[in-house]
Amino acid sequence: MNIILLGPPGAGKGTQARILVEERGMTQLSTGDMLREAKDSGTEMGKIVADVMARGDLVTDEIVIGLIREKLAEGGNGFIFDGFPRTLAQADALAQLLNECGQTLDRVVELRVDDEALVARITARSTCGNCGEVYNDITKPIPADGKCSNCGGTEFKRRADDNEDSLKKRLMEYYKQTSPLIGYYYAKGQHTRVDGLGEIDEVKSAIAEKLDG
Ligand code: AP5
Ligand code: MG
């Protein structure tokens, strides 16, 4: 089963994708994580995207479609597209890429969360520098011994775009460019919606119902 997790910044896409990877052996394809990796390793592409991402703007379709094309060419299935597609052009490209490798898109799960909750979540987020486990100062604090519960890592990072100004921009980009995908997938009969405001486990169960129902 290949699925898209669709939702604004802070909706919980990454958190839920990691749970699906662990519990169902699926493969998370997060374009945000791929772009941050390129930025951290200092590749040419990473240098180009660094400022764009820090401002909260979208990276070009060409770059992100290229990243997804490479991953799909490596083979496998059970993909969770996290943060991709984000524009109608990306959605069309994904349909074509899946078609070319004989795969289907089975569900699009929209995580619905209101804007106030998103700001609170994002400004309290940190991630493990080693394995990427996602934490939150309020709802999922780093363990008291200072070690990541997943890998034991002791370095935690905050993202350059997790500030109020960039977040406003990211939200506007979501409403302008990405939210039209809700209608796009609704028209194809693939869209489902989950209340993303509940606790992490509640959201997990709501997603499971959509995937298994
Ligand atoms: P990306 O990395 O995709 O960021 P995003 O979409 O802004 O989403 P986030 O990763 O911020 O949020 P999330 O939904 O994963 O939430 P999380 O689980 O971490 O993209 C970053 C940038 O890269 C873009 O702005 C753009 O520049 C570029 N980019 C990426 N893809 C692109 C594309 N396709 N096209 C063009 N440009 C692209 O959770 C957030 C916090 O909330 C955490 O602290 C977590 O612990 C907490 N939390 C999660 N769930 C719950 C819950 N149920 N209750 C309470 N707290 C919760
Ligand atoms: Mg994420």
Helix (H), strand (E) at residue 108: strand 107-112
Predicted TM-score (pTM) of the model is: 0.96
Known catalytic residue: 159? yes
- Residue 138, token pair as written in the block: 């309020």
Known catalytic residue: 18? no
Per-residue pLDDT tens digits for 159-192: 999 998 999 999 999 999 999 999 999 999 999 9
pLDDT at 76 over 90: no
- Residue 176, token pair as written in the block: 């302008």
Which atom of ligand 1 is found nearest the CA of 60?
Answer: 36
Residue with tokens 């969360």: 113
Nearest residue (by CA) to ligand 1, atom 20, is: 32
39 lines ligand 1 (CB under 6 A): no
Known catalytic residue: 112? no
- What's the average model confidence in pLDDT over 110-136? 94
The residues near 82 (Cβ < 8 Å, ≥ 6 apart) are 5, 13, 14, 17, 28, 29, 30, 31, 32, 33
Query: Catalytic: which of 112, 159, 169, 193?
Result: 159
CA of 12 relative to ligand 1 center, distance in Å: 7
pLDDT at 111 over 90: yes
Confidence band, pLDDT 50/70/90 cuts, at residue 114: very high
Pocket test for ligand 1, best of 37, 51, 59 (most atoms within 8 A of CB): 59
CA of 212 relative to ligand 2 center, distance in Å: 23
Q: What does pLDDT average to over the chain?
A: 96
127 lines ligand 1 (CB under 6 A): no
